[in-house]
């Protein structure tokens, strides 16, 4: 997945500008982003503070790590079943 050019704090600041009444087109031109990016950010970060966004990122990273762990364990279990099944 591509890393964003903007930090969570910057994204939330841009969204605060949008909430203050700045038009989406103006935000896009000012920050060099697309309309779709603004709306995606609004869906993901709308109404959050910086601390909440950082916590969200930590939880997403932890979730990805746990998914990898479960996938590795499932592979190990399948391998053991295969080895034991042949004997």
Q: Where are the domains of the chain?
A: 8-86
The pLDDT of residue 68 is 98
Whole-Å CA distances, 68 to 12, 32, 61, 72, 75: 30, 35, 11, 6, 11
Look at residue 62 in the predicted model and tell me its pLDDT: 98
Tens-level pLDDT at each residue, the chain (87 residues): 577 788 888 999 999 998 898 888 998 999 999 999 999 999 988 888 889 988 988 999 999 999 999 999 999 999 999 999 875
What is this structure's pTM? 0.64
pLDDT of residue 78: 94
Q: What is the pLDDT of residue 1?
A: 59
CB 54 within 8 A of CB 12: no
> How far apart, in whole angstroms, are the C-alpha atoms of residue 52 and residue 48?
6
> If DSSP codes are grouped into helix, strand and coil, which group holds residue 12?
helix
């Amino acid at each position: 997945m591509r890393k964003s050019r903007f930090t969570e704090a910057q994204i939330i600041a841009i969204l605060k500008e949008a909430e203050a009444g700045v038009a989406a087109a103006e935000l896009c031109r000012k920050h060099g982003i697309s309309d779709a990016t603004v709306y995606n950010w609004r869906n993901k970060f709308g109404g959050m503070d910086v601390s909440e966004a950082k916590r969200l990122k930590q939880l997403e990273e932890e979730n990805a790590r746990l998914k990898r762990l479960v996938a590795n364990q499932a592979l190990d279990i399948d391998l053991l079943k295969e080895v034991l099944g042949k004997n």
